[in-house]
Every structure is written in C-alpha cells, then in structure tokens.
Amino acid sequence: MPSNEEEQDAVDLRQYSHTLKKYWLVTATVMFSVFGLTALATFSQKKVYQAKGKLVLKQSETSSLTGLRQRVGELSGLTLASSPVDTGVEIISSNPMVKKTINKLELKDKYGQPLKIEDFLKNLKVKGIRGTDVMELTYRSTNAKEATDVINTLMKTYLENNILTNRTEAKSVKELLSKELPQIESRVVEAEVALRRFKDANRVVSLEEEARVGVEALQDLLSQINRAKAQLEGVKNRSAALQSKLKLTTQQAVKLSTLSQSPGVQQVVTEYQKVQDELAVARTRLTDENPIVKNLIGKEQALRKQIEKRVGGIVGSGQSIPEQNLQIGQLKQTLTEELVKSEIDRLALANQVGVLQKAFLSSQARLRMLPQLEQRQQALERRLQVAKTTYQQAFKQLQEVEVLEKQKIGNVRIVSQALTPEKPISPKIALNLVLGGFLGILLGIGTALLLEAMDKSLKTVKEVKRLLDYPLLGAIPHLSLSHKGKSSLEIPIRDKPDSSASAAFEMLMTNLDFTLSDKELRVILVTSSVPNEGKSFVAANLATAKAQMGQRVLLIDADMRRPRQQEIWGLPNLTGLSQVLAGKGDLQTTPQQAFMNLDVLTSGAIPPHPLALMNSQPMATLIESAGTKYDFVIIDTSPVTLSAEAQVLGKWVDGMLLVVRPGVVDVDAVTATKSLVEHSGHRVLGMVVNGQIANSDYSYYPGKVNYEHQVNEKTQIKLPTIRVS
C-alpha cells in the first residue's frame, strides 16, 4: 500500500495540476510573452566585441639598486589591507587617464559628440588577477578595432604616466634633501656638544666601568662593616660579662681603676684604715672621753676628709665612692682594668663602624645616581646617533636620487597587447533563448500559483478538514448546470438512483446514523457557512434517502432569508412554517407530502423579523412535536455567518450538519463559522462536502461505483472513497 508521504505528494501534484489547468490561459500568455520579448531583445541587439590586454607591476631596477624604492616608485601599500595592484586599477580608471585616451583616439558617442567619461567607464573593466601582480584590462565596443585601440592606448598612457610620476617624485625628493641636509648637520653638532657638557658636569668618564668598580668597593665596605660589627658585638659581650662579675658599671670601673692607680689616694686610705684599727683597739680599753680616743677620732675625721677631697679631685665632686671600693684586690683591679680596656675597644669599634657606614652610604648614593646618569647619557648618545644616521642616510639618498631623476624605467610593463577580436561576445543567442524560455515557464507557473494563493476560497476536502476538524460524513459530487444556471437534477437520489450522487447521499445517511451513541438521532439541523453551498439541496436529498428507507420524515424549511424547498419540490408556499408559528396552521394539516413517507413544511410568508420568530416557544414546541410524530426531522436553516437562526435553532435539535462547498466558501467564512458554532456550544454531527470536483480528494464519475473504505479519525466510521471503474 502507498505510504502517507506518497499520498501527500500525489495530492500536492494533483493540486498543482488543477491550478495550472485552471489558469492555463494566463500561464501560457506569460510564458510566450516572456520568451517573445527575450527573443526580440536578443535579435535586436548590436554585436559587441571585447578587447583584452595585460599589465604587470614590477619593482624599478634602478630604485632597487639605489635602495630608494621605499621613497620613489614604491609598490607596497601603506596599510596591510592595501594592494599595489588595486592602486593601479584605480589609477587606470581615473578621470585623467580616461580623458587622455578619449582625446587621443577622438572617441565619439552615438550622437557624434565626444564620448563622456561615464560612458567610457561603463565599457571598461580593470581587475587584478588573483595571486599575481598582473592587471587585466578589457573594453567593450560595437567596433572591434576601436576596442583594441582603446586598450593599447590606455596601457601606453598609463606606462608613460608612471615614468613621469617616478621622475617627478625623484626631483621633489632631491629638492627636499638639499634643503634638509644643512639642518640635519647642525643637529649632529648640537648633539655632540650636549653630550660633552653632560660628561664634564657629572665627572663621567665611563659609567659602565665606574659602576663595576663601585659595586666591588661597596661589597668590600659591606664586608668591613660586617667584620667590625662582629668585633663590636664580641667586645660588648665581654664588657657585659665583666660588669656582671664586678657588679660595676663601666663608669664605675673607670673610676675605681683610676683611684686604685692614684698613690695619693691609696696612701691616705692606708693611713685612714690604720687609724681606724687603732681607734678600734683604743675603744676596747678606753672610753670616748679619753684624750687618746678623741685624738684618734679627730685624726680619723681628718683623714676621711682628706680622702673625700682627693677622690673628688679625681672622680668629681658630689660623687660618693664606697670605702670598700677605695682599695681593691689585685684580681678585682685586673678585671677592672680589662673592663675599662674593653670599653675603650667598644668605643673604637663603634666609631669604625660609623665611618665605614658613612663611606658605604656615600658610595651607594653614587651608584644609585649612575642609572639616571646612564639614562641621560644614553638619551644624548641616542640623539647623537639618530642625528648622525639621519645625516648619513640623507646624504646617501641625495646622491641616489640624482641617479633616479635621470632614469626612464617605470614600475609597469606591458605583458600582452590587445588583439583585434574576431567574434562578438554579445548577444549570446542560444543562451538568451534558453534563459528566456526557462524564465517564461517560471513566471507563468509563478503567476498561476500567485493567483491561486490570492484566491481565499477552499478548494479541496483536505483544506476543509484542516480548518474545521469535524468528522467528514460524506462528499457529494459536482453536478452539471443547465443553461439557466440551475442544477438539471435537484433530487438525484429520486430521479437518478444509479448515479454517483445517489450513492453519496446513501453513504451520508448511513454515516449520519452512527454519529450519536448515547441516544437515537431524530432531529437534525442542516446549515452552511455562506449562501450557495447547497444546504437546501443536501437537506432535500437526505430527507428523500431517509424516506426511501421506510421512515416517516419531515423536512422543515426554516430559512426565512432565502427559502428554496418549495422550488426544489415544486410546492406552493402560501402557508408554511411562519403560519404554524403564528397559530394560523398546525403540524397536522400544513405540511405537504412531497414523496412517499416525506412531508415538507415550506417557509410560508417571510416575516419582518425572522430571528424573533425562530427564537420563540412555538418553534421549540413545533420541533418537539415533530420529533414525536415523525421518525426523522430535518430543519433547513439560514447560513451561520448570514444570520443567527442556525445558532438559535441548534439548542432544540440533536445535532447540526454543516454543508461545505469548495470553490464557494472561503477561509474567513469557514473560520468564522467554526468560532460561532463553538461559542454557542451546539453539537456538530459532522460535515458534508458538496460539489466535489473530479480528480480531487474524493472523486465521482457516472457509472458503476466502487468503494474503498477509509477510517475517519473523529468518529471511527469507515468512509468510502467513490471511484469509477
């Protein structure tokens, strides 16, 4: 069996085929018009010839030898994005170059006037060949010789202009260098003087050598400082140990050492101690009042004063020395002398450290200045070097540019002269005709598709199902029209029971019986979205099909806007639904028998306000009574988008059957209908497609009918596709 994708492709191809058949005249007109215009334009064109020449950009040999190619005749671009070839392209296409060529060849336009630059450039094309330094020039003209002369003249003019430009640039550079050379020389002299003054002011001979020697001296001073500090620390530790042992400060030790070495002090101290001994012995025998004791006391006091006087003269007045320290032993005296010597060594080492540190700081300061001095010296030397280099280059270039000024070689060489073309490049007849035919076909099909896209009417059952999404209960085939524009067969199920339309209505009746599962379907409403979709036609034939099955059927024409049931059945419409609702008739006598088991209640006189009449209690009572009296009731009412009668009557029926006619109803009407029905909340039994054309989703042809069942997704009812054998 074919897959869904194959079926989809087949449907799309059939749709495109139908569209092209529908608009075949427009499509053919567009196709032949485009092809004809293309052919006319092709054969009316003049023959165009194209001449071609090539130039190569090269480096000037003379400028390469002299080293001045970066100043004169430079080929390299100023930026990374620029290209010498692109620059050459712009120069060749410039107005001066074009103007010279036009004047040399005396080129004229079609009116005999001098050719304008704009017109010349339209026919000229200059481009660089990728990956090379070659430029390609092409010119188009209706005259083959003229195209050749233009290219050769333009290349020759560009070559002459290039040589002249190089010589002019060389002359300008020479004049500039001649003026600048004396000023550059004076800057060299100024730089030399500034460097000499700097060295004199800062006592600079060789900063590099001075820095090397200074660093070595600084390291030597640092070593001496460290050694002196180590010795000083040892002396301090020795002094501290002696002070701790003697329990004396350094000053006290100095004083004791001085007193112990003073003969005058020691003599008096000895006599004083002797008197003290005698006084102590005398007091053991005598009292203090004894003249001997008193004499010894006086002598003691006198000697004490003598000691204080002599000690004060040595250590200073106002300072007291304990008596036990006035005379010390040999060991203590030796230790005291060592303490004094240690203090002297400490002072000497401290002074030495201070001197060394001052020398270190002085050397360090000088070394710190050296980078600044070196930086200033380098700046001055750099300035001098730049001045010297500039002078040397300027002097050298002045000599070189004198050579360049005399050269007659440019940066351009003609690679290929233009040859007279033998064959035209335009028009290309075969290609134009093929493109014209292809474009004609494309535009013709596009026009047909555009017209089809602008047509908003629904065309296939597929579109109907996609927009409404209701169960498809049946598809009524398209019936031919009579010369009056009306169908020649209003009730085919009665008048032509063997037709495909009759089979379609029978299938619709069968599918309709399976729409409700919770109760018996007795009263339905038949409506459509817009007029002329055939709802009255479907209602009449569906009622006939039901009647043929032996059921008593009532067909009510409730379309008070445009009633048609009396025309379909050929019945009088003097009395009908409006009279019954107004109380001037009843359900027993007013309906007219149109067929066996089929009664038709025509609309009757059209009231001024149909909606009020439909939305009344008598109408509800009528529908209820009809449902009781008859086996099946079909109500034909106005289209949904035309009036509100269908929505009003929908609340009293078992369900609604929506008739859709492709080619008549459009997308907007179908969308509006679905929105109104869903808003009212009425039950939609399904939809029936009326007027289905052949070769569409469902096809019908007169003759024998075959059925191929398909499953409907909504109702799970097998719907037939009617095909002709």
What's the CATH number where 609 sits?
3.40.50.300
- 473 and 450 belong to one structural domain: no
Separation CA 16–CA 21 (nearest Å): 9
Q: Which of 568, 505, 502, 528 is nearest to 664 (CA)?
A: 528
Residue 78 and residue 94: Cα distance in Å, rounded? Answer: 20
d(CA 93, CA 75): 18
**Phi first, then psi: what are they for 69, rounded to 5°?**
-65, -20
Is 447 contained in some domain? yes
Spatial contact of 488 and 568, defined as CB atoms under 8 Å apart: no
Angle, CA of 283, 287 and 291, to the nearest 5°: 95
Give residue 547's pLDDT. Answer: 95
CA 33 to chain centre: 46
* Phi, psi angle pair for 354, to nearest 5°: -60, -45
Closest by CA to 49, choosing from 429, 416, 426, 419, is: 426
DSSP labels, 306-329? HHHHHHHHHH-TT----GGGTS--
Whether residue 671 is found in the same domain as residue 687: yes
> If you ran DSSP here, which 8-state letter would residue 635 be given?
E
H or E element at residue 413: strand 412-416
Between the alpha carbon of residue 712 and those of residues 678, 684, 709, 721, the distances in Å are: 21, 15, 10, 12
Tell me: do 449 and 476 sit in the same domain: no
Paired tokens of 411 = 């940066």
Cβ atoms < 10 Å from Cβ of 291: 8
On whether residue 532 sits in a domain, the answer given is yes
Does residue 558 sit in the same domain as residue 613?
yes
- With a cut of 50, which residues of the chain have pLDDT below it? 1, 61-76, 78, 329, 481-488, 695-725
Residue 528, strand partner residues:
659
Q: Is residue 183 part of a domain?
A: no
In a domain, 138, yes or no: no
- Of 419, 454, 489, the one marking the end of a domain is 454
Residue 609 belongs to a domain = yes
Query: Residue 501: which of 451, 526, 537, 548 has the closest Cα?
Result: 537
Q: How far apart are CA 146 and CA 49, in angstroms?
A: 9
Q: Using CA atoms, how far apart are residues 326 and 311, in angstroms rounded to an integer?
A: 9
Question: Do 506 and 610 reside in the same domain of the chain?
Answer: yes
Last residue of a domain, which of 406, 437, 454?
454
Beta carbons within 10 angstroms of residue 81's beta carbon? 7
Two structure tokens written together for 699: 């096809």
Q: Please report which helix (H) or strand (E) contains residue 556, including its range.
A: strand 553-557
**Are 508 and 575 within one domain?**
yes
**Structure tokens of 284?**
């053991």
Task: Name the residue range of residue 10's domain.
Answer: 4-45+427-454
Strand pairing partners for 723? 706
Mode of pairing for the β-strands spanning 134-141 and 655-660: unpaired
Looking at the fold, whether 510 and 435 belong to one and the same domain comes out as no
Looking at the domain assignment, is residue 354 inside a domain?
A: no
CA 229 to chain centre: 72
Domains contained in the chain, number = 2
Asked whether 42 and 433 are in contact (CB, 8 A), the reply is: yes
Strand, coil or helix: what is 541? helix
Contact (CB, 8 A) for 409 and 62 = yes
Query: Locate tokens 């036009």: which residue?
Result: 102
Handedness of CA 452, 457, 458, 459 (dihedral sign): negative
542 and 594 in a single domain? The answer is yes
Residue in 121, 56, 119, 58 with CA at minimum distance from that of residue 94: 121
C-alpha to C-alpha distance for 689 and 602, rounded to whole angstroms:
25
Bridge partner list, 721:
708
Q: What is the Cα–Cα distance from 337 to 54, expressed in whole angstroms?
A: 113
- Is this prediction's pTM over 0.75? no
Same domain assignment for residues 525 and 618: yes
Question: What's the helix, strand, coil split of the chain in %, to 5?
Answer: 60, 15, 30
- Domain assignment of residue 263, yes or no: no
Please choose, from the candidates 402, 395, 389, the residue with its C-alpha nearest in 3D space to the C-alpha of residue 63.
402
Residue 316, pLDDT score: 57
3-state secondary structure at position 387: helix
Record the tokens describing residue 17, joined without a space.
């085929």
503 plus 484 within the same structural domain? yes
539 in the same domain as 432: no
Do 530 and 662 contact (CB within 8 A), yes or no? no
Give the gyration radius of the chain's Cα atoms: 66
Is the same domain home to 439 and 514?
no
Domain end, chosen from 454, 472, 504, is at 454
Among residues 395, 258, 266, the alpha carbon closest in space to that of 316 is found at 258
Residue carrying structure tokens 């076909």: 441
Q: Is residue 708 helix, strand or coil?
A: strand
Taking Cα atoms as reference points, which of 477, 455, 468, 531 lies closest to residue 689? 477
CB 174 within 8 A of CB 422: no
The count of residues in the chain is 725
In a domain, 623, yes or no: yes
